[in-house]
Amino acid sequence: MSKTRTHRIDRHTDPEGPYPPTEEMLAEPIDPELRKAQGERLKKAWAMPKGWRYISAVNNSEVGKWYSLTAFGFMILAGIMSLIMRVQLAVPENDFVSADLYNQLFTMHGSAMMFLFAVPMFEAISILLLPGFLGARDMPFPRLSAYGYWAFLIGGIFVMGSILFGAAPDSGWFMYPPLATQSEGIGSDVWLLGLSFIEVASIAAAVELIVGTLKCRPPGMRVNVMPLYAWYVLVVGGMILFAFPPLIAGDFLFEMERSFDWPFFDPTRGGDPMLWQHLFWIFGHPEVYIIFLPSIAIAAMVVPTAAQRPIVGYSWIVLSAVGTGFLSFGLWVHHMFTTGLPALSLGFFSAASEAVVIPTGIQLFAFVATLMVGRVKMSLPMLWIAGALAIFTAGGLTGVMIAIAPFDWQVHDSYFIVAHLHYTLFGGMVFPLIAGIYYFYPFMTKKTMSVRLGRWAFWLLFTGFNITFLPMHLTGLKGMPRRVFTYPGDVGWDWLNMISTIGAFIAAAGFAVFAYDLLRPKGRQPKAPRNPWNGGTLEWSAETTDHGWGSRSIPYVTTRYPLWQQKGIVERMDEGRYYLPDAEEGLRETLVTSVIDAKPLQVMRVTGPAWVTLWAAAFTGGAFILPTFHIYVPAIISGVLAILCICYWLWTSTAIIPEKTKKDAGLGLKLPIYISGPGAAGWWGVFITMLGDATAFASLIFGVFFYWTASPDFPPEGSIHANWIVMAAAAALLTASWGAMLGSRQLNMNGRGDLATACLVAAPLLALAGIGAMILSVWLPGLEPTSHVYPAVMWGLVVWTSAHVGAGVIMQLYCLAAVIFGKVTPRYDAPLWNVTLFWHFVILTVLVTAAVVAALPRVL
Amino acid sequence: MPHRREGIEIFARKPTAVVAGAVFAAFGLSACEGPQSAFGATGADAIQLETLFIVMLVGAAILWVAVNGLFFYVTRVHTTSISRRLANGVIIGGGIGLPLVVVTALLVYGLSIMPDQRAEGDGLVVKVTGEKWWWRTEYQPLAGAPVVSANEIRLPTGSRTTFELTSERVIHSFWIPKLGGKMDMFPGRTTVLTLEPVTPGIYRGQCAEFCGESHALMAFKAVVMEPDAFDAWLEAEAAPIQADPQAPGAEIFFGEGCGACHALRGTQANGAVGPDLTHLATRESLAAAALPMNREALAKWVRNPETYKPGVKMPAYDHLSDEELDTLAGWLMELK
């Protein structure tokens, strides 16, 4: 090993060469022979696997397609469930289905629409479209998309399939304890574990979408010129990142209560069912906007095309989208207006809920303004947008009503709410989504859908929807509660329900026409024109023959509507005059740019087809699904296999040391192939994931403070407390482990591989000792987690933190192996950066846990 | 506008059209009525909320027509370009100005009624406990001992009654739409609701928070009475059973061990698992409003409660003969 102690390795990561490109550089003609050879090489690098190997594909265009079709399939299944419920309710005292089955049906209908359709559909469509909007070759982590998809498919089939065995969850999609914690059978576990699994996949996709938007934009596309859809991806991705973790934390507590009888929500042992309601709705309300904003995003792409001019009020829309995202986290209590909270807090949350009208109004009126300024051509997508507006404004206005707490006391949990939420979701999700499918269909498939069938589908769905749900407002005001499997004949709800049932079948016919038009073979149809709507954004530069490469060369973009505002951009892209026109090494590459200004930073090599992602998803599924049936040992084995698969996948396909430090990215610009630290997409992936993870941990801490403030005897008199000396030792050991990790990164960078290796040997040992000490600190004094919520929550924190440290140990060992086997060198050290970043979050978790477990009870 | 004039003339010339219109309006109103409807409110709180709703409905209808009308106008009627400045005005006026005014006014009005709705009670206190699909009640008058009953709420007009709500096992919600809004019932905690009935009558209430398999069948009749009538009822309700405890039906009742779960004040039956039956037959409905209160329904219910309320705790007594069941039901109907 080198003895030069302080010599810092020259990392050579700065781009070299001219940037931005001048007009003369872009006008430079390209030799046709060379162009053809480049095209061949690109085609080969991005070729789709053939035959049965097709399912090993990871390309965003394939994964996105599977993902959206699967989500659509789950939507159809959940829709069929609603039809069964409508038949049951058509007449009073019906016995078409039993009470038990009805309860499973409405629970599954809601859960599936939320977790298997609305959120995944946004992610699926975004995976499919985002690279097109950004002129990128692919998403930054294609294998992660594939992993997320397979996890979604497995989890979705598991959760959906449970109803075939009469074992589906039956406590409502909100799963309120104590009903859901006491529910017999495996239904609640199916919900908790199956959907947690899917939530993990959702977060994975959100991370990828955020990183894709931040780091994979084309050169020159500053944040203030990126397509509005990309802004919405950022906002919604961020919301998923902060909204799902409270639910995951809640799921964790809930499953601990189900499996080990730790009484988090049991009022007889100090628990509180209200904590679940808070955690659930801190997730649940942003969820509404997570569903709604992507549809606004679609409208934001369709409307300027319909008006044939740039959007009016771009900045207003961006600010409103961000504002809606923030506000949505401060409204959750309006789902709990009838729980007897103090009037002051109800008033506050009423006002906060009403405040959302403003950003929502700005977005809607910006579209109207765009249509005013432009010359509107009414096309089929615009018909669906108009329908969406008609339905959504009705739902929004009833939302304004029920945000007034006293009015909500009357209609809460009645059919008025059922009507309201379906108006917002059909107007704010289903109709814009279908508009988007009609609009983007030529981009996605190079074919067009039928205008005639599209109109049929529209009018059937629009009238059917309104016949179903408009009367429900009255049904609710006439006192019919939600979630009832039957009702008496003498209260005046019978004819209203019959109307709703008839409407539901008309709406179903509309869906059937749409599904037929979407899926019917269009082989003989001629290809759609390249830019059939004359849109102005980059996705319409896609060639009519799909070569898998996305765009032939990655353009230099300086305007919001480059196809309208940058003359000749499409021809130049086709001719390969922009960046990355070639795949000299036959590898899949895309550009990484800087977060704000989109300056080119790196030529990133992205991963190609793989089976390991499928295996990893299957084993992760096993680890989540098997505990439902209390099969723990195979579940642990499955979990270990999942970790091994993921390690193999990371080892063989990420942070590969390149054959040269830099390569020509086109237009004379030489970019590094490998970068580590805050410039790299991987580092951002870890950072963003850990923000979500920290939110879940914060939710647990919120739980501790909730118990403390909401109940007079927390901790109860004479409780046993954790041993603070042992806990302090645990904190010290883990801090040392974190220090060793940080040290290994710095020493390695300074060329001291030997010392870095020593640090990486010490770090996991210290961490394992730390886990041991942390568990001893609650185990030695004899905290009994089933006795009361206080010891349970202390144990919960220790388990949560230990699991994170455990993951950190695996990562440290991975780094150790990487240093020993030369996968990490002083110049190429991305794993060390990423794992150190993970450990920054871990040490934060450890210190907070230590403070809360050991110090807080003594302060109180 | 020739069209409109023509329409008016039709009304002027054909009185039948006017009658038809009036009939339609009347039907429209009656279509909203019902024993569990928030329309035709009979309690002070519900009347306030009904007015609030009508105001909001009118406002919402105007706004809906305005927004969608504007959209229709710019996409269908006036499709050519309108000035940019006007468009900016639409964003600021429609997105900020209008909502700010409307929402502020609505918040001031809507929240100002909250103190009325949350006003303290000034009369009777009723403790209601949500059980596995039935309601345990305990009346605590200003003077006199508490009276235990079940599955029906009786209230006097002229004062504000306080409900102290709790639950045995899972979350329920207590709701009488004709009288006012709802309040959730939690195990291990008491929530408070006050209601001020105005018009006597028999209304219907129902559990509004999903509480398991037979959530749909957890309802009750709410009987609002003049104060004097109420006092008389409460006095009768406080008394022990009025039926003959030696009758053949009573023998079946005690012989089958019904008293282990149900209480009959004045007898050895003191079970507290199921509803108190001391004055069962005075109630307007049976089994938390799942069945009518009559002899046939009682016999059917006792034979197999599961048929009428899936998942209910009460076991089936299908080993009793039709005759025995009828005798038992007949005696139960004497529990006045």
Is the predicted pLDDT of residue A193 greater than 60, yes or no?
Answer: yes
pLDDT tens-digit readout, B57-97: 999 999 999 999 999 999 988 888 888 888 889 999 999 99
First to last CA, chain A: 54
With a pLDDT cut of 90, the percent of chain A lying above it is 90
| Predicted confidence band of residue B12 (pLDDT cuts 50, 70, 90) | very low
Query: How many angstroms away from the CA of B99 is the closest CA of chain A?
Result: 6
Which tokens sit at B321?
């003969």
CA geometry: angle A72, A77, A83, nearest 5 deg:
125
Q: Does domain A707-859 have CATH number 1.20.120.80?
A: yes
pLDDT tens-digit readout, A168-177: 999 999 999 9
Tell me if residue A403 falls in helix, strand or coil: coil
Which of A146, A145, A193, A150 is closest to A169 using CA atoms?
Answer: A193
Domain spanning A59-298+313-330: which superfamily? Cytochrome c oxidase-like, subunit I domain (1.20.210.10)
Domains of chain B as residue ranges with CATH: 125-238 (2.60.40.420), 248-332 (2.60.40.420)
Candidate from A267, A358, A364 with C-beta closest to B189: A267
Candidate from B189, B206, B215 with C-beta closest to A479: B206
Which tokens sit at A58?
């990871």
8 Å CB contact of A273 and B187? yes
Closest-CA residue of A relative to B84 is A373
- For residue A670, list its beta bridge partners: A16, A664
| pTM of the full structure | 0.94
What pLDDT was estimated at residue A3? 39
User: How many Å apart are CA B281 and CA A577, to the nearest integer?
Assistant: 91
pLDDT tens-digit readout, A510-521: 999 999 999 999
User: How many Å apart are CA A697 and CA A804, to the nearest integer?
Assistant: 10
* Ramachandran class of B19: left when φ > 0, alpha when ψ lies in -120 to 50, beta otherwise: alpha
Domain residue ranges of chain A, discontinuous segments joined by +: 59-298+313-330, 707-859
Residue B305 with chain A: CB contacts under 8 Å: none
pLDDT tens-digit readout, A550-562: 889 999 999 999 9
Residue B87 with chain A: CB contacts under 8 Å: 312, 369-370, 372-373
Query: How many angstroms away from the CA of B286 is the closest CA of chain A?
Result: 13
Q: Which residues contact B270 (CB under 8 A, 6 or more apart)?
A: B259, B263
Contact B286, B293 (CB under 8 A): yes
Is the predicted pLDDT of residue B5 greater than 50, yes or no?
Answer: no
Q: Which residues contact A678 (CB under 8 A, 6 or more apart)?
A: A684
B58 inside 8 A of chain A by CB: no
Name residues 16-35 of chain B within 8 A of A (Cβ).
31-35
Report the mean per-residue pLDDT for chain B. Answer: 92
Amino acid at A458: F
pLDDT tens-digit readout, A723-767: 999 999 999 999 999 999 999 999 999 999 999 999 999 999 999
Tell me if residue B136 falls in helix, strand or coil: strand
First to last CA, chain B: 68
According to DSSP, residue B147 is labeled E
Q: Where are the beta strands (DSSP E) in B49-200?
A: 125-131, 134-140, 147-150, 152-156, 161-167, 172-175, 183-185, 191-195
According to DSSP, residue A50 is labeled P
* Ramachandran class of A582: left when φ > 0, alpha when ψ lies in -120 to 50, beta otherwise: beta
Residue B111 with chain A: CB contacts under 8 Å: 347, 350-351, 404-406
Contact A253, A271 (CB under 8 A): no
pLDDT tens-digit readout, B101-147: 999 999 999 999 999 999 999 999 999 999 999 999 999 988 888 99
Q: What are the angstrom distances between the C-alpha of B334 and each of A59, A561, A685, B149, B243?
A: 77, 83, 74, 16, 6
What pLDDT was estimated at residue B328? 97
Query: How many angstroms away from the CA of A329 is the closest CA of chain B?
Result: 20
- For residue A671, list its beta bridge partners: A663
Three-state DSSP string of A544-608:
CCCCCCCCCCECCCCCCCHHHHCCCHHHHHHCCCCECCCCCCCCCEEEEECCCCCCEEEEEECCC
Average pLDDT over residues B15-37: 70
Candidate from A273, A351, A372 with C-beta closest to B74: A372
Candidate from B52, B83, B209 with C-beta closest to A407: B52
Average pLDDT over residues A360-377: 93
A27: number of Cβ within 10 Å = 10
According to DSSP, residue A852 is labeled I
- For the sheet containing B219-225, what is the strand order? B152-156, B219-225, B201-207, B172-175, B183-185
User: How many Å apart are CA A117 and CA A152, to the nearest integer?
Assistant: 11
Query: How many angstroms away from the CA of A112 is the closest CA of chain B?
Result: 19
User: How many Å apart are CA B319 and CA B331, to the nearest integer?
Assistant: 19
8 Å CB contact of A478 and B118? no
The interface pTM score, or ipTM, of the predicted complex is 0.93
Is the predicted pLDDT of residue B4 greater than 50, yes or no?
Answer: no
Which of A700, A827, A690, A843 is closest to A763 using CA atoms?
Answer: A843
Residue B119 with chain A: CB contacts under 8 Å: none
Which of A520, A442, A594, A440 is closest to A126 using CA atoms?
Answer: A440
Residue A89 with chain B: CB contacts under 8 Å: none
Name residues 271-300 of chain B within 8 A of A (Cβ).
289
Average pLDDT over residues A612-617: 96
B5 inside 8 A of chain A by CB: no
Handedness of CA A831, A835, A838, A844 (dihedral sign): negative
What pLDDT was estimated at residue B25? 61
Pairing outcome for strands B219-225 and B152-156 = parallel
Peptide bond into A227 cis (omega under 30): no
Residue A490 with chain B: CB contacts under 8 Å: 35
User: How many Å apart are CA B307 and CA A87, to the nearest integer?
Assistant: 20
- For residue A554, list its beta bridge partners: A579
Contact A313, A362 (CB under 8 A): yes
Is the predicted pLDDT of residue A178 greater than 80, yes or no?
Answer: yes
Is the predicted pLDDT of residue B19 greater than 70, yes or no?
Answer: no
Name residues 221-280 of chain B within 8 A of A (Cβ).
none
Contact A127, A148 (CB under 8 A): no
pLDDT tens-digit readout, A139-148: 999 999 999 9
What pLDDT was estimated at residue A11? 67
Average pLDDT over residues B254-273: 96
| Predicted confidence band of residue B2 (pLDDT cuts 50, 70, 90) | very low
Handedness of CA B9, B13, B15, B20 (dihedral sign): negative
| Predicted confidence band of residue A1 (pLDDT cuts 50, 70, 90) | very low
CA geometry: angle A823, A824, A830, nearest 5 deg:
115
Report the mean per-residue pLDDT for chain A. Answer: 94
8 Å CB contact of B204 and A491? yes
B66 inside 8 A of chain A by CB: no
User: How many Å apart are CA B73 and CA A377, to the nearest integer?
Assistant: 13
Amino acid at B122: D
8 Å CB contact of B213 and A100? yes
Candidate from A371, A409, A487 with C-beta closest to B216: A487
Amino acid at A720: I
With a pLDDT cut of 70, the percent of chain A lying above it is 99
A633: number of Cβ within 10 Å = 8
Is the predicted pLDDT of residue B273 greater than 90, yes or no?
Answer: yes
What pLDDT was estimated at residue A13? 82
Is the predicted pLDDT of residue B6 greater than 60, yes or no?
Answer: no
User: How many Å apart are CA A205 and CA B52, to the nearest integer?
Assistant: 44
What pLDDT was estimated at residue A252? 95
Amino acid at A359: P
Interface test with A, best of B169, B215, B309 (most A CBs within 10 A): B215
Contact B212, B170 (CB under 8 A): yes
Candidate from B111, B184, B188 with C-beta closest to A340: B184
What pLDDT was estimated at residue B1? 36
The CA-based dihedral angle spanning residues A184, A185, A189, A191, taken in that order and rounded to the nearest 10 degrees: -90
Is the predicted pLDDT of residue A656 greater than 80, yes or no?
Answer: yes
Q: Looking at beta carbons, which pairs linking A560-569 to residues 24 or more positions away fall under 8 Å?
A: A560/A225, A560/A226, A560/A227, A560/A310, A560/A311, A560/A314, A560/A536, A561/A304, A561/A310, A561/A536, A561/A537, A562/A536, A562/A537, A562/A538, A563/A531, A563/A535, A563/A536, A563/A537, A563/A538, A564/A310, A564/A536, A565/A310, A565/A536, A569/A541
pLDDT tens-digit readout, B159-174: 999 999 999 999 999 9
Residue with tokens 């002070």: B44
B183 inside 8 A of chain A by CB: yes
Q: What are phi and psi of A172, to 5 degrees?
A: 90, 155
Query: How many angstroms away from the CA of A110 is the closest CA of chain B?
Result: 14
Query: How many angstroms away from the CA of B161 is the closest CA of chain A?
Result: 17
User: How many Å apart are CA A608 and CA A49, to the nearest integer?
Assistant: 10
Contact A77, A112 (CB under 8 A): yes
Candidate from B63, B96, B110 with C-beta closest to A406: B110
| Predicted confidence band of residue A856 (pLDDT cuts 50, 70, 90) | confident
pLDDT tens-digit readout, A768-818: 999 999 999 999 999 999 999 999 999 999 999 999 999 999 999 999 999
Candidate from A103, A170, A477 with C-beta closest to B38: A477
